[in-house]
Structure 1
Amino acid sequence: MLRVHFTAEDLFNVTFAAEPLPLVELASALAAWQRTDEQAVFGRWRLRVSRELPGRARPLLDLLRPDGDNPEFVEPYARTLEEGLAAVREAGPLLTAAQLGRAAARAPGPASWLRALWDRDREAWDALDGALRSAHETVIAPQWPRIRQSFRADVAWRTRLLATHGIKACLAGTHPRAGWSGTVFEVDLPPDYEVRLGGRGLMLMPSPFWTGRPLLAGRPDGSHVLVYPAMTPLPLVGPGPAEGALDALLGRTRAAVLQSLVERRTTSEVARDLAISLPSVSEHTRTLRAAGLITTERDGRAVLHSVTGLGADLLRSGG
């Protein structure tokens, strides 16, 4: 279980990242590509990445694993690719033997090149630089406008949620297993990890690629960042400007699902009315439920969904 202890000062010091960060998104994307969840949303995207990712980028898979619990040096909080690559290089002398052991134990391939990295071998570091550049060029750069659209829509929604319903509602909506115990934010999923913010606050960073539980990472100044799945994952972000506020936030199909649930409907009814598959409806309703926008209950064998007050408020504000 993830447990994050807030002080009163921390509760007043929750902020949002200003922009998505290229190497953080690259790490999230490569982790998401290796995962198997949310196939209805990410299945085609994963197949495309499998075809397009060049062999030069493959060594990154020894560092960036599907659970997202990756070495921090390879996903620095830098605003541009070049700043990020410079930060990766600068981290080399600071890597420890314990970090090498952990990375090698998790790597699916031979650990020889990881040992060369930790030994500060120039060819290994050049290979890492080339792998990051190649993967960024293939996976991130072509999608950057859509990544920013997803990021900004999520921040806009959660900022409003924070102002209207408070920090607890804002954070509880980041994952279906997230909630609060007093002033402790909890996500009831392994592995066990506990941190006390100690008055240094928390920065929130939505990722349109990440599909797992919220990830907590420390920053050099002692504060922490929470990376969580954006409301609209990248495959659901339209190729052009969204037609309305709801489309920008949720994606057209998910916005249509929410709109359809103004009246109580079963999963099958939503699939029939919107001409989409049952697995796709299930993925959309799971995310909408996690955000507190709909409720779901069973009536015999049927699964019934309906919009909540918060969801109705979002529909009104989105036109």
Structure 2
Amino acid sequence: MRFTTEDLLRVTFAREPAPLMELELALAALQRSDLPPVFGRWQQALRRTFPRGARPLLELVPPSGRGPLFLDPLSRGLDDGLDQVLSAPAGFVRSELVRVRAAYRRPVTGWVHGLAGQDRDAWRVLTEALCTAYDSLLASSWSGVQSAFDAERAWRTRLLADQGIRTTLAGLVPGARWRGTTLEFNWPEEAEFALDGRGLVLLPSMVWSRWPMLAVRPEAAAILVYPAVSPLPLLDEPVGTAPLAALLGSTRAAALTLLTRQRTTTDLATELSIAKSSASEHAKALRAARLITTERSGKAVQHSCTPLGLDLLAGAGGPVTA
């Protein structure tokens, strides 16, 4: 992704999570077979309870999450998102349906054909499917999503102030790196995109766990969707009002606090009263967020806070020594 100076000056954070963006990514996650273990039970529960009335959406959204762009606007709440979907220009709708069909071999059913032709009944079915899917997949968790989003946004904003835009962007996902003014990510395919002065909006997702995704809409800033530090399955943990727990989830926040002193994976598991495999998963996530480092000492693996992790603890009012 190539930046101009103007683009770097126009990087912003979304003001709030976008319900239909999260919904489309949840629908994609529902269909994948390569989710991290932390998503396992969440995915199984969604598959068991996924309502029949939402099934038409699976004709539009592939497992990659790159469904029609008119379906997942950056909105101020669900009602605003639905209004944007229903007011999408007919030409944009048709071109996006053609793109998804060609790229992912999605079926051209009578219903999809009706959407392309602006058939009123087809769009009524779409609206009902979106509402039904949201109620089933996200509604009960939305307050947690909002809290985690606010904590993530506050942390990234502080990181931006402390370490600058290059470090902030490179820290969004593991493996991101700069080559001059080009930011490279590990993507499943070769792709190159020039922002050309349009700017970039950063949008963390609580349901997407894979590579970052870029959404480009006509006459608007591009949107970079990236996996949040804490995914939705961890938001079911009781987080209370602690800002660090809202960002990381209770268990990861406790793990980070413990790692102000070097500890092994076994130490973490014992002190947090969790399985060693779970402790390893939490350590992996904290390491991916550059909050801890890991090194091998003989047969043991030792973890400890990075300066960024210590700074996060200090900013949240937590201990910086242990």
What's the TM-score once normalised by structure 2's chain length? Answer: 0.89
**Compared CA separation, residues 110 and 311, structure 1 to 2 (3 A):** same
1:71–1:103: 8 Å Cα contact kept in structure 2?
no
Match of 1:145 in 2: 143
Matches within 5 A, 1:24-103: 24-91=21-88, 93-94=90-91, 95-96=93-94, 99-100=97-98, 102-103=100-101
Matching residue's letter, 1:80: G
Classify 1:244/1:152 alpha carbon distance in 2 versus 1 (closer, same or farther; 3 Å): same
Q: Structure 2: any 5+ residue segments left out of the alignment?
A: none
Check 1:98–1:56 CA distance in 2 against 1; reply closer, same or farther (3 A cut).
closer
Determine if contact 1:177/1:189 at 8 Å carries over to the other structure.
no
What is the number of residues matched between the two proteins?
Answer: 316
Contact 2:21 2:73 in 1 (8 A): yes
Aligned sequence identity (%) = 47
Match of 1:205, SS state, is: strand
Name the SS of the counterpart of 1:242 in structure 2: coil
Q: Structure 1: which 5+ residue stretches go unaligned? A: none
Go from structure 1 to structure 2 and tell me whether the alpha carbon gap of 1:237 and 1:97 turns closer, same or farther (over 3 Å shift): closer
Amino acid across the alignment from 1:227? V
Equivalent residue for 2:124, pick from 123, 126, 129? 126
- Contact kept, 8 Å, 1:216 with 1:226, in 2: the verdict is yes
AA aligned to 2:26 is: A
Distance 2:132 2:298 in 1: 52
Structure 2 CA distance for aligned equivalents of residues 280 and 103 of structure 1? 39
Q: 1:129 to 1:178 in 2, by over 3 A?
A: same
Q: Distance in 2 between matches of 1:257 and 1:317?
A: 16
Give the 3-state SS of the residue equivalent to 2:192 in structure 1.
Answer: strand
Q: 1:239 to 1:251 in 2, by over 3 A?
A: closer
* Letter of the 1:12 counterpart: L
The aligned counterpart of 2:160 is 162
Equivalent position of 1:17 in the other structure: 14
Question: Measured at CA, do residues 71 and 279 of structure 1 come closer, stay the same or move farther in structure 2, by a change above 3 Å?
Answer: farther
Bigger mean CA offset, 69-78 vs 297-306: 297-306
Residue 104 of structure 1 deviates from its aligned partner by: 6.2
Alignment of 1:81-230 (within 5 A): 81-91=78-88, 93-94=90-91, 95-96=93-94, 99-100=97-98, 102-103=100-101, 106=104, 111-230=109-228
Larger RCO, structure (CA 8 Å, separation 6 or more): 1
C-alpha separation in 1, matches of 2:24 and 2:32: 13
- Show structure 1 runs of 4+ deviating over 6 A: none
Aligned partners of 2:25 and 2:184: how far apart in 1? 21
Aligned residue for 1:204, secondary structure, equals: strand
CA contact (8 A) 1:63 1:107 kept: no
**Contact 2:172–2:289 (Cα < 8 Å) also in 1:** yes
